[in-house]
Structure 1
Amino acid sequence: MCKGCVVNAASRQSDWTDNIMTTTQFEYPALYRTANVMSASSQSFFLWLVKAEYGLLLLATISSMNFYTTSLYFIIPALILIASLVLMITRSLLKPEQGWYRGRALAESIKTSSWKYCMRGEPFGDADNLAMRRSEFRTYLAEILSANRLIGDRMPPDQAAADQITTSMEDVRALPLEDRIRFYDTHRILEQRKWYAKKAGANKKASRLWVVASVIAYAVAIVLSLMRITQPTFVFWPIEPVIVVASSILGWMQVKKFNELASSYTLTAHEIGIIRGKIPEMKTEGDFSQFVVEAEQAFSREHTQWVARQQHA
């Protein structure tokens, strides 16, 4: 082979590697995208039901404040309470939170396994026969689909026809060890640490804001109760609606688990930082494979919590 041909081939290989290294769009298997969508839609539906229920309870207390004394008027709070009861029964029967938790757990499990496959981590480690590893990964996805028929039932036709082992996954797996280490550091470790740190801060801030709102609601209810002592004949004191607001805030904080998530995300972000310090020690495929397994275990901590929540939902 001519010397110029070798140089050109090496240049093309370098350009191909650089293009992959700068890629920001990493495509996961179609099953991941389906599980992710299912989780997001179930979460939105569950939270909408909770907010609607709280809102109807607030309207019921407001409409019960004797603005009118006719019998016909008092049908309104009764109808609102019936609507609230229907929402509560709907939430109890449909259990959308289970779809939320199950979908999130499945999505994170598939994501973790996809990165293990791309980085040649166990159980999809380096092998002379790439077809065997591809077959093992497809078998893993098939087992997930078989064990969770809900995912298959909710998979739209376009996603069912999409690739389960994407082109970007194959391209990344084909990278040399050094480039795979850099890719994993940039597109997995650093992105995950940034995500966890951002979420930890957002949940901590949200927790403070909702606590302040709760204190204000209780303070308003206390002030109104004291004021009613001076004017006991006045019948339009909005004490009950304010109490419902305070109770709803506490319930919302329990649903969203701001403090719990802030603590969990903070610990995971620190753990990722500690794990990242081991990257310079990666010299062989075996070392890197073990490193990927350790890192993915840290990333899957939240996935494990989603599984636990689903089991107790």
Structure 2
Amino acid sequence: MSSTVPGLREDDLPVVFRSSDTASLTGQRNYVRGTKFRLVLAVGAALCGALDQRAAMVGLVVVFVLTLCVEVWLLSERPEQSWYDGRALAESTKTLAWRFAVGGAPFPHDLSESDADRRFHERLRDLLREAPVSGLAPVGSIAVTDAMNSLRSHSFTDRKQAYLRYRIEDQQQWYSTKAAANVANARRWRLVLIGIEGLGLAAAVLRLLDLFTFDLAGILAAVLGAGSAWLAVRQYETLGRAYTFAATELSVIHGRLSHADEAAWAEEVADAEDAISREHTMWRASRGVG
């Protein structure tokens, strides 16, 4: 469905969204880098341990020191908390902004401008108060933006088209793309791990027959463990299923919203935003975040 009314871009959302989104992306990037480095060091330790040389033993000591440093850094900085908490605040801010802009509950279009603004400020202030102070310190204004007010001022038809196009269809596309990517990555990593297992088996048999003296099987076991740990961190299979389900659910919601009249619009938008928030809640729960 095409719409001549622009939707809400990220720059159109309250500054709180951008600060928490930046904190989340930075935390994610640091956590992934730290995890990669730790797993590479684990493989390096196995390689040094397999070499019966003084230089290899020195290298093993260095690897363990570096591993300890990475572990201490991850424990002290806790970048995963900034990732999870920042994403939670960013997505909660975005859903409030869309509800306000298109007249969704708890900001129905028949609510006066002053009451709608006050209610938005109260809801966003509550989110900021609930943000974990240990992992996130968002900054910025909680004011309603001009773009949000502009979209809210349009007719029901315009708001409906803009919401379907720039919120629901955009989320559908995002989930569908991410689902396909995660499924493909899960299959690719499974094939890689199977290949490593095969090589490890061959190396073990060769050493058992005294045809091979180097402990290649031990190194491949470490590589396999690192690969499995990385697969667990990325959760490709879990995310693939979750994103597929979310995209399917949004298809149903899109059809329902397309036929919604103005009287039911506020609650239909609230239901749609609850569905989007539910996927994010499941994502946080899968990573052990309450």
Q: Same fold (TM over 0.5)?
A: yes
Aligned residue in 2 for 1:261: 239
How far apart are residue 128 of structure 1 and its match? 5.0
Aligned residue in 2 for 1:91: 74
Change (3 A) 1:175 1:235: same
Aligned residue in 1 for 2:191: 212
How far apart are residue 306 of structure 1 and its match? 4.2
Structure 2 residue 137 is matched with structure 1 residue 153: yes
Tell me, in whole angstroms, the C-alpha distance in 2 between the residues paired with 1:128 and 1:255.
45
Q: Secondary structure at the match of 1:282?
A: coil
Checking the alignment, whether the CA contact within 8 Å between 1:203 and 1:261 is kept in structure 2 is yes
Q: Map 1:135-154 onto structure 2 (within 5 A).
A: 135-148=118-131, 149=133, 153-154=137-138
How far apart are residue 279 of structure 1 and its match? 3.0
Identity between Structure 1 and Structure 2 (%)? 24
Checking the alignment, whether the CA contact within 8 Å between 1:28 and 1:166 is kept in structure 2 is yes
Q: Secondary structure at the match of 1:300?
A: helix
How far apart are residue 163 of structure 1 and its match? 6.8
Tell me, in whole angstroms, the C-alpha distance in 1 between the residues paired with 2:27 and 2:65.
24
Change (3 A) 1:304 1:73: closer
Structure 1: gaps (5+ residues): 1-16
Counterpart amino acid of residue 295 in structure 1: A
Checking the alignment, whether the CA contact within 8 Å between 1:39 and 1:103 is kept in structure 2 is yes
Change (3 A) 1:283 1:154: closer
Q: Map 1:228-307 onto structure 2 (within 5 A).
A: 228-231=207-210, 234-284=212-262, 286-307=263-284
Aligned residue in 1 for 2:202: 223
Counterpart amino acid of residue 67 in structure 2: S
Structure 2: gaps (5+ residues): none
How far apart are residue 36 of structure 1 and its match? 0.9
Checking the alignment, whether the CA contact within 8 Å between 1:197 and 1:269 is kept in structure 2 is yes
Aligned residue in 1 for 2:31: 46
Change (3 A) 1:167 1:311: same
The number of residues matched between the two structures is 286
Tell me, in whole angstroms, the C-alpha distance in 2 between the residues paired with 1:267 and 1:48.
29
Aligned residue in 1 for 2:46: 61
Checking the alignment, whether the CA contact within 8 Å between 1:145 and 1:151 is kept in structure 2 is no
Post-superposition CA distance 1:12-67 (Å, at most 9, x none)? xxxxx94xx14674511111111111111111111111110011111111122225
Tell me, in whole angstroms, the C-alpha distance in 1 between the residues paired with 2:284 and 2:42.
31
Checking the alignment, whether the CA contact within 8 Å between 1:201 and 1:262 is kept in structure 2 is yes
Post-superposition CA distance 1:266-313 (Å, at most 9, x none)? 1111111111112342222x3111110111111112221244356648
Post-superposition CA distance 1:169-209 (Å, at most 9, x none)? 11111110011000001101110111111111010000000
Change (3 A) 1:312 1:272: closer
Counterpart amino acid of residue 34 in structure 2: L
Tell me, in whole angstroms, the C-alpha distance in 1 between the residues paired with 2:234 and 2:136.
28
Q: Map 1:89-168 onto structure 2 (within 5 A).
A: 89-127=72-110, 129-148=112-131, 149=133, 153-155=137-139, 160=140, 164-168=143-147
Checking the alignment, whether the CA contact within 8 Å between 2:16 and 2:138 is kept in structure 1 is no
TM score, norm. by length of structure 1: 0.84
Tell me, in whole angstroms, the C-alpha distance in 2 between the residues paired with 1:151 and 1:140.
21
Aligned residue in 1 for 2:15: 30
Structure 2 residue 57 is matched with structure 1 residue 78: no
Post-superposition CA distance 1:246-282 (Å, at most 9, x none)? 1111111111111111111111111111111123422
Counterpart amino acid of residue 195 in structure 1: W
Checking the alignment, whether the CA contact within 8 Å between 1:28 and 1:169 is kept in structure 2 is yes
TM score, norm. by length of structure 2: 0.91
Checking the alignment, whether the CA contact within 8 Å between 1:225 and 1:239 is kept in structure 2 is yes
Tell me, in whole angstroms, the C-alpha distance in 2 between the residues paired with 1:147 and 1:135.
18
Q: How well do the aligned residues superpose, as a CA RMSD in angstroms?
A: 2.2
